[in-house]
Amino acid sequence: MSTVVLHNVVSLDGFVARPDDDPGPIFDWYFNGDRSLSAQDMADPEPGGLRVSQTSYDYVRPVWDAIGCMVIGRRLFDLTNGWEGRPPTGDHVVVVSHRPRPEGWHPEASYHFVDDVAAAIAKARELAGDRVVALAAGDVGGQALSLGLVDEVAMDVAPVVLGAGKRFFGPHDTEVLLDDPHVVIQGDRVLHLRFRVRR
């Protein structure tokens, strides 16, 4: 069965973006190395693509390769226009939204619009098979944690205090214990951490 991982870049004070949704300097590590994180089948990385350190590449690339389906909120879908129908990781995307798929938007893309977090994760599990379901942090991720639907929390911690912004754990407001981290990897402007949620 698939593992559901709440995964995002985060500041030291727990924000995934500034109040205006710009991640600002917490994304520096995506652009300060010489290993392309872009799709594996591209002979050359595109200009402006993600270029991380070797250390981050060695951690992130297998993590991304293991993802079968992403679950995101409508805000991220709208901000990126759904990455034009090509998920950055995995083959499928479930968008938690009360609004349907935009009319005429990339009819070929395996994007699914579901208006409830629990139903969205169930759909994502079905699509992912035995691969990982990657949940974006924020409102959707926080609700999933509250519902007991998250197996692991993965935080790429940037050495930045944002001061204000969108919270990693969104509206989640109850206590949850996790195991000690089974991943602690120091990159360049990022510390990769990964924790299993205790049941």
Q: Decide: 108 and 85 in contact? Cβ < 8 Å.
A: yes
By the rule CB under 8 A, 135 interacts with a copy of itself: no
Q: Decide: 77 and 56 in contact? Cβ < 8 Å.
A: no
User: Residue length, the chain?
Assistant: 199
Q: Which CB, 110 or 146, lies closer to a copy of itself?
A: 146
Q: Decide: 27 and 52 in contact? Cβ < 8 Å.
A: no
By the rule CB under 8 A, 132 interacts with a copy of itself: no
By the rule CB under 8 A, 145 interacts with a copy of itself: yes
By the rule CB under 8 A, 175 interacts with a copy of itself: yes
By the rule CB under 8 A, 162 interacts with a copy of itself: yes
| Least gap, CB of 11 to a copy of itself (angstroms) | 9
Quick one: how far is CA 104 from the chain centroid? 26
Among 20, 103, 104, 174, binds a copy of itself (CB under 8 A): 174
Q: Nearest Cα to 71, choosing from 37, 112, 11?
A: 112
Q: Which CB, 16 or 72, lies closer to a copy of itself?
A: 16
Instruction: Count Cβ atoms within 10 A of the Cβ of residue 74 and give its class: 0-12 exposed, 13-18 middle, 19 or more buried.
Output: middle
Binding site for a copy of itself (CB under 8 A): 12-14, 24-25, 145, 153, 155, 159-164, 167-169, 172-181, 184, 186, 188-189, 191, 193, 195
